[in-house]
Structure 1
Amino acid sequence: MKIYKITKISIYLLLFLSISACDNSDDNDFSEPNHRVIYTSQMNFDNKIEVNGEITFGDVSTGIESRTWTFPSGAANIETSSESVVKATFNKVGSHNVTLHQIFKGNAYVDKTLKGRELDTTIVITVLEPVSAIVQAFKLNEDDSLGAELTMSDNAENEIIASEKVRFIYSVIGQPEIFQWTFEGGSPQTYEGANPEVDVKYRSVGTYDMQFIASRERPFGGDTIQFKKLIKVIPSTKPVDLERVFDIDGKVALEFSRDIDPSTLNPAQFAITIENGSDVITTNIELAEVDPSNGNIVILSLNNERIYNDDTIKVSYTPGTLTTLDGMAATAFTDEILLFNLNNILKSENFDYSFENSTAAQWPYQWWGGTWGMYDLAISSSRAQDGTKSAYIEYHEQGGMIIGHNTIGGTPIKVTFTSGQTYEIGVWVYVVEPWFTPGNYPLPGLFASDLRIYPSSFDFEAVPVNFDENFPIGEWVYRSSFITADFSGAIDLVLRGYNEGANQKLKFYLDNLTIAPVNLRP
């Protein structure tokens, strides 16, 4: 009943607009306006329905003498109709054409253009299968190649050695648009996205469930796949790896490949060094504890001290009592460098910080003239620090670069800064080959090559990369610098590359630009 009322109101509104649109034209009969107005109940949703679903077609044109709707034979429950409103059920999956032949009493308007008396319209209807999904899973070998396929059923209890990974793969029909994974006991524990493959690492001994949901909002539908006790994680005899060192709330966090036994932690077996410029901060580790939310993470609290983003922090472990819950002793490590977790504001600014979704044309030359146009830039799939793409850049010998970042339409993409806030501005760089002759760099009277980032107002200058003679070649390197904003607001950025002091091309990949608010040591 509600649908009928809405449709009726819509028809009256369209009739009013149709009459209003036929203005003072000499070709028009004011007492009998002729105007084509056609709608469907799914016109705002690409005319998609699920098989055996209904769709309503309406012809509320004015000045109609006769009409004929024609539906595809064998795909709908009707073949022809002369009614103004027709409801049809489609029982065949695929793309189907519905045609409307209209004869008007005079030449008719289509939108604001006057057409002939006889008009033909084709409406394409997409009929989808019900959403259906299939999930497969494979153990991953150490080189991330596919290993043995898992049995996908309740109580399968596929055995996975702690710290090993499983690749889950889905295939679907019915064009779902929303994909949601839940991996009990895994990392990640949840994942949302259309990527058909997800790698999950299991660190904790136990038995775990898995769930996958594929769905669409219009036409509404979905499929849920769930397996109870699908994965059984068993103890490992492999070495216990330290996967990363990072920060949590001003403390040092150590992420291991497997869950740690809290009773085996001894703060005295860890050592830490903190450097800030030329200063060495002396402290000791007061407490070592397992993160209550992640059993494979150990948090080190310092005695009356915290860490800051401009510190260089190195952590070491002397072999002692540290043991995993599956009984393996942790191995020693020395001077592992902490990498801070950064809240990259570019992720929320529509700025393609990782070069995954933009073209070279969206990183245009800024027309400074002179040496600043002596470069080449391409979006490359050959190498990436993260994801699948990066920017491949060549500074010409004794050349340079100045580029911005635009939308597809050519509008500069802006980034929002807050006055008084300090930011870390960083990039990942992979230099392909040497770019200078040893002993002759930089050239006399010039400077070493670099990469600088400015706002278009030039209110600050960040120099995240200095290509000195000791810059690593053939590996991804993270470089950054700090700036404090003295303005608030959204502003576009430019990237300036300098290579005038080099007598060869500087070839490198650029990836994962970062601008993140930070706290510096007082």
Structure 2
Amino acid sequence: MILKNIKFYIATLCTLIILSCTTRDDSFTPPEGTVPVAFIITSIIEANNDRDLITREGFDVEFLDASIGTSDDRQWEFPEGSYEIVSGGLDTKKIKVKFLSSGDKEVKLNKNSAETATVTITVLEGASATFSLAPVDPDVPGFSFDQTTGTLTVESGTEVQFTSNVTGGLSNFNWKFPGQSPSFSEEANPIITFLKLGESNWNFRVTSAVPFGDIRIPFYEVDAEETFLKVIVTPSSKPFVVAVSEANELEDETIQIPFNGEFSPFSSQESHFSVMLNGTTPLGIESVSLNSEDATILEIKLSEPIYRPDVLTVSYDGNGTLQSKDTRSPVAFTDLPVAMHNVSSVPMASADIFDFEGINAPAAWTVRHDNVGGAVEISNDRATSGSSSLKITGSGGTVRFVCSENIDVPAGEYIITFDLFIEAGGTYGEIWPTIGNPWFQQWRDARAAAIPRGEWVEVSTTADIIYGSTTTLAQIAVRLEGGTGVVYMDNWKLLTKEVRP
């Protein structure tokens, strides 16, 4: 469904006085009753440091004869067919016009039959905006949009795709959906999940750097008055279930489980949940609670520490008194996997170097002096997160490359992980990640030959770091042995090795 185009107007933002500039002529005598000065223009946007004058098609622009004197002998001149008079006339002291076409427009003020001032105004194309909206699942129940009242009705948990269509250089988007997920978006075409029950208003604006300013564009008119759209979120007719395929462990060892709706407040539900270690050992649960900012997320705290190698699963027996805000009971689930917190526990120099996203990464990663037949570069071809990764191209020799940034790594046991993508046809057999200063220890991970081609795989290996001096500064280097083809690496992490007692 497409709503009507909405034209909008900028009120007077500033007043500019344009002075006429002419070559000095001491013999010049001004026409009787006037002094050759500027005219004043309102509703024009000064867009850049060159003091260009810019407006848009459809904007009201007012011109005022600022000549000093008593003569009313004046004539305004505009390019023929390019304007429409809003008020005043071509011979009045003040005239307001609307430009009907884009391009550079020369405007003149003639006094006493002589040209007094001329200015060129750049008229941009008119700006307009429409949007459409539709449920992501076309068969979702309870969805409707009433164009007459501007009311969107959805069931809780419904995902809605909003698609914008704008003209005139509008490019900075700002959608606001209070209480929904997300509640704010700067995307041109966001997908919003409506969860919070009840009625609320939502709005949208889109702006442009030229003309500058925060221009709000409500998209609907009722009785010729612009207003925001209304959304009504009703109870869902779907089951109340876990919304993800994996729970998530946070850095503070909290386990989070998102659902497809909001929970009502609750207490004393710990006995209905279980957390298993390695599929066989139950772990004690200290608390089950709601996330303080998002009522769709359950949080579980254990009564004992979680270790990185742990394999955890969560189950719910379905017999608790939990309810959604629309009075649905959550469906029981068994052995939901927990994705363990896996952020580098050792500061990896500048973070943008090891995720390959920052401006420092290209200079940090280089081939070593003993490299044979290989090249490395930061690439936007593919990535597991962000937009960049490290691209390695080999031509049959041993590709050796290094990160020139030192990292501060105390001696100890570590796990080094990274994401690896070997393009189809890549013949590499071994990969050797190395760390040290100098290279006191090396280890190889010979699985490169067995790694599937054409997909991202997380590679990890252990490292016992021992220094021969008091320094704790080290570098990371990599060797790809005996192969050809293209390889990508992303998201290096160095994790302190943890062992459950």
TM range (shorter): 0.5 to 0.7
1:342-378 C-alpha deviation (Å, 9 max, x unpaired): 59999x97769476x99xx958973535445425768
- Report matched runs for 1:24-103 at 5 Å: 42-44=47-49, 47=52, 49-51=54-56, 52=59, 75=82, 91-96=99-104
SS at match of 1:44: coil
2:179 to 177, 180, 185: 185
1:251 to 246, 250, 254: 254
Contact 1:424/1:514, CA 8 A, preserved across alignment: no
Please say if 1:499 is aligned against 2:480: yes
SS at match of 2:271: helix
User: Counterpart of 2:135 in structure 1: which amino acid?
Assistant: K
Q: 1:286 to 1:246 in 2, by over 3 A?
A: same
SS at match of 2:216: strand
1:384-410 C-alpha deviation (Å, 9 max, x unpaired): 534677666554455325377xxxxxx
- How far 1:139 sits from its partner (Å)? 0.8
Aligned equivalent of 2:431? 449
Please say if 1:137 is aligned against 2:133: yes
In structure 2, C-alpha distance between the alignment counterparts of 1:498 and 1:520, rounded to whole Å: 27
Aligned equivalent of 1:223? 216
Q: 1:158 to 1:176 in 2, by over 3 A?
A: same
In structure 2, C-alpha distance between the alignment counterparts of 1:480 and 1:399, rounded to whole Å: 21
User: Counterpart of 1:140 in structure 2: which amino acid?
Assistant: V
Aligned equivalent of 1:83? none
SS at match of 1:242: coil
Q: 1:220 to 1:418 in 2, by over 3 A?
A: farther
TM-score normalized by structure 1? 0.56
Aligned equivalent of 1:428? 419
- Report matched runs for 1:263-282 at 5 Å: 263=266, 266-272=269-275
In structure 1, C-alpha distance between the alignment counterparts of 2:249 and 2:268, rounded to whole Å: 19
Q: 1:419 to 1:237 in 2, by over 3 A?
A: closer
1:200 to 192, 198, 201: 192
Q: Give the stretch that moved more between structures: 227-236 or 263-272.
A: 263-272
Aligned equivalent of 2:398? 399
Q: 1:150 to 1:273 in 2, by over 3 A?
A: same
Contact 1:205/1:235, CA 8 A, preserved across alignment: no
2:162 to 147, 160, 168: 168
1:97-151 C-alpha deviation (Å, 9 max, x unpaired): 779xxxxxxxxxxxxxxxxxxxxxxx9964335654323211113999xxx9855
In structure 2, C-alpha distance between the alignment counterparts of 1:385 and 1:334, rounded to whole Å: 27
User: Counterpart of 1:185 in structure 2: which amino acid?
Assistant: G
Aligned equivalent of 2:313? 315
Q: How many residues align?
A: 401
Aligned equivalent of 1:62? none
1:211 to 203, 208, 213: 203
Q: 1:474 to 1:293 in 2, by over 3 A?
A: same
- Report matched runs for 1:293-372 at 5 Å: 293-303=293-303, 305-307=304-306, 310=308, 312-321=310-319, 325=324, 326=326, 327-334=328-335, 336-340=337-341, 342=343, 353=355, 366-372=366-372
Q: 1:48 to 1:227 in 2, by over 3 A?
A: farther
- How far 1:216 sits from its partner (Å)? 3.7
Aligned equivalent of 2:74? none
Q: 1:397 to 1:6 in 2, by over 3 A?
A: same
SS at match of 1:268: helix
Q: Name stretches of at least 5 consecutive residues in structure 1 with no aligned partner.
A: 12-39, 57-69, 78-87, 100-122, 405-411, 442-447
User: Counterpart of 1:499 in structure 2: which amino acid?
Assistant: L
User: Counterpart of 2:102 in structure 1: which amino acid?
Assistant: G
Aligned equivalent of 2:115? none
- How far 1:254 sits from its partner (Å)? 1.7
- How far 1:300 sits from its partner (Å)? 0.9
User: Counterpart of 2:301 in structure 1: which amino acid?
Assistant: S
1:295-351 C-alpha deviation (Å, 9 max, x unpaired): 221111122x4446x4535122153325551525434232613242759999x9776
Q: Give the stretch that moved more between structures: 462-471 or 179-188.
A: 462-471
- How far 1:6 sits from its partner (Å)? 11
In structure 1, C-alpha distance between the alignment counterparts of 2:343 and 2:184, rounded to whole Å: 21
Aligned equivalent of 1:407? none
SS at match of 1:222: coil
User: Counterpart of 1:47 in structure 2: which amino acid?
Assistant: D
User: Counterpart of 2:289 in structure 1: which amino acid?
Assistant: E
SS at match of 1:366: strand
In structure 2, C-alpha distance between the alignment counterparts of 1:54 and 1:352, rounded to whole Å: 54
Identity of aligned residues (%): 16
Q: 1:272 to 1:171 in 2, by over 3 A?
A: same
SS at match of 1:134: strand
In structure 1, C-alpha distance between the alignment counterparts of 2:196 and 2:497, rounded to whole Å: 34
- How far 1:234 sits from its partner (Å)? 2.4
User: Counterpart of 1:94 in structure 2: which amino acid?
Assistant: S
Aligned equivalent of 2:7? none
Larger Rg: 2
TM-score normalized by structure 2? 0.58
In structure 1, C-alpha distance between the alignment counterparts of 2:104 and 2:123, rounded to whole Å: 8
In structure 1, C-alpha distance between the alignment counterparts of 2:164 and 2:195, rounded to whole Å: 23
User: Counterpart of 1:321 in structure 2: which amino acid?
Assistant: N
Q: 1:239 to 1:251 in 2, by over 3 A?
A: closer
- How far 1:288 sits from its partner (Å)? 0.8
In structure 2, C-alpha distance between the alignment counterparts of 1:403 and 1:72, rounded to whole Å: 65
2:236 to 234, 237, 246: 234
In structure 2, C-alpha distance between the alignment counterparts of 1:272 and 1:224, rounded to whole Å: 50
Contact 1:427/1:464, CA 8 A, preserved across alignment: no
In structure 1, C-alpha distance between the alignment counterparts of 2:266 and 2:483, rounded to whole Å: 58
- How far 1:198 sits from its partner (Å)? 1.0
In structure 2, C-alpha distance between the alignment counterparts of 1:376 and 1:476, rounded to whole Å: 18
Aligned equivalent of 1:63? none
Q: 1:220 to 1:341 in 2, by over 3 A?
A: farther
Q: 1:263 to 1:221 in 2, by over 3 A?
A: closer
If each structure's helix is expressed as a fraction of its own residues, which one has the higher value?
Answer: 1
- Report matched runs for 1:282-297 at 5 Å: 283-297=283-297
In structure 2, C-alpha distance between the alignment counterparts of 1:203 and 1:458, rounded to whole Å: 56
- Report matched runs for 1:462-473 at 5 Å: 467=447, 471=451
SS at match of 2:230: strand
Q: Name stretches of at least 5 consecutive residues in structure 2 with no aligned partner.
A: 1-13, 22-44, 64-76, 85-95, 108-118, 219-227, 468-472
